[in-house]
Amino acid sequence: MHKSWVINNYEIVYANQEYFAGPGSEAYLKLNRTFVFGMFNKDIEVIDVDSTFLKLGLTDCIVEFTSSKLKFDLCERKQLK
């Protein structure tokens, strides 16, 4: 399962593996920085999230990456800090 948002020069990827017999890895959000018109990516940070992150309809749209000190609003598709 995969969903992504592109905000400014950042890409936020939600990923969760599911197998035929059940769940695979835990869900996580990964922050990438894109360079040179989106041709190159650099992984910045990965955070674990609850597997219901997308199933709840994104009622809590604010995502904060603590190590990189970046905050995003996924519903409005904008960078907060």
Cβ-contact 63, 72 below 8 angstroms: yes
Give the residue numbers spanning the domain of 45.
2-79
Q: Where are the beta strands (DSSP E) in 1-81?
A: 2-7, 10-15, 18-19, 22-23, 28-35, 40-48, 62-65, 70-73, 78-79
Q: Given this model, what pLDDT does residue 70 score?
A: 93
Split at pLDDT 50, 70, 90, the class of 24 is low
Q: In the numeric block, which tokens belong to residue 47?
A: 């955070």
- How many domains does the chain contain in total? 1
Tell me the pTM: 0.76
**What integer is the mean pLDDT of 9-30?**
79
Cβ-contact 27, 16 below 8 angstroms: yes
